[in-house]
Amino acid sequence: MANIVIFCILAVVILGSAVLCVMTKRIMRAATFLLFVLFGVAGIYFLLDYTFLGVAQIAIYAGGIMMMFIFAIQLVSKDTLQGMIEHFKGSRVAFAFLLCLIGLVTVAVVLLKNHFIDQAASMADVEVPVKKVGSALMGSGKYQYVLPFEFISVFLLACIVGGIMIARKEDKK
Amino acid sequence: MIPVQCFFVLSALLFFIGVFGFVTRRNLIAMLISIELVLNSVDINFAVFNRILYPGQMEGFFFTLFSIGVSAAEAAVALAIIINVYRVYHSDQVNSIENMKF
């Protein structure tokens, strides 16, 4: 019962912040509402007893990505702090609304009419032990993930180099 | 015990709020923020599928973990591109980039 109450609170926070994030005219506020959405999603992970995932979400998304967003917003434009110079065009909003409605109905029908939902197991009420997570992340056997782990480290390195290459100032010779 | 459908409805709604933002916004950073919403909804779906439908396995868990890492890298490169676009065109609107428009 307590789980359902917590889930409802989290869902209201996530959806409300997401709608405000999409509709607000000031970009700094959009970033702040995105932060609330990220915290809500981390709360969902905690509710599912994936504590490691929740901590990773807070550390990487709410800590790292949000900081980058705020720096980029401050760097890009002074006008955006006073308010975006953006007016929602009526026809585009109507088109987007229609598109989302059609997509939402399709997804809802596919998900709810499908029968794989019926095999929902009763969720074990124990946290996934970090030891199991660590050995699965670092092992090289079946159902263990050391190769993607190494790949993502190389990938992050490539992104660091690419980001510096793109954003650096051209030196005038 | 929360029914699975609730999670699916939540993540579908979050996904389409993100799509709505992506279509309506014309500011590059605001579009990137909408993409983050979409990525988060997909991550919720992975975790819920793993936890409720297939407990005892770890695939969805690790897919979510790697997806968080990949989206961090994607945001870093995208913000670098946006800063560079601003430096060249002095604008952060999508309409300003028309050189490669067909």
CATH of the domain at B80: 1.10.287.3510
Residue A82 has pLDDT above 60, yes or no: no
pLDDT score at B46: 92
Distance CA A154, CA B80 (A): 19
Residue A45: count other Cβ atoms within 10 Å of its Cβ: 24
Contact A120 B30 (CB under 8 A): no
Share of chain B above pLDDT 70, in %: 98
* Mean pLDDT of all residues in B35-57: 89
pTM: 0.88
pLDDT score at A55: 93
Domain boundaries, chain A: 1-89, 129-173
Has residue B25 been placed in a domain?
A: yes
Q: State in Å, rounded, how far the first CA of chain B is from the last one.
A: 53
Has residue B17 been placed in a domain?
A: yes
Q: Tokens 């510096």 belong to which residue?
A: A164
In the predicted model, what is the mean pLDDT of chain A? 85
Domains contained in chain B, number:
1
Domain holding B48, by residue range, is 4-91
pLDDT score at A172: 63
* Mean pLDDT of all residues in A99-119: 83
Residue A84 has pLDDT above 90, yes or no: no
Q: What is the pLDDT of residues B58-73, one digit of tens each?
A: 888 999 999 999 999 9
CATH architecture of A1-89: Up-down Bundle (1.20)
Has residue B101 been placed in a domain?
A: no
Has residue B31 been placed in a domain?
A: yes
* Nearest Cβ partner for A68 among B66, B76, B87: B76
How far does B36 lie from chain A, in Å, by closest CA? Answer: 8
Largest CA distance in chain B: 54
Chain A, chain B: beta-carbon pairs less than 8 Å apart: 209
Residues of B in contact with A48 (CB under 8 A): 47-48, 51-52
How far does B101 lie from chain A, in Å, by closest CA? Answer: 20
Residues of A in contact with B76 (CB under 8 A): 68, 159-160, 163
Residue B3: count other Cβ atoms within 10 Å of its Cβ: 13
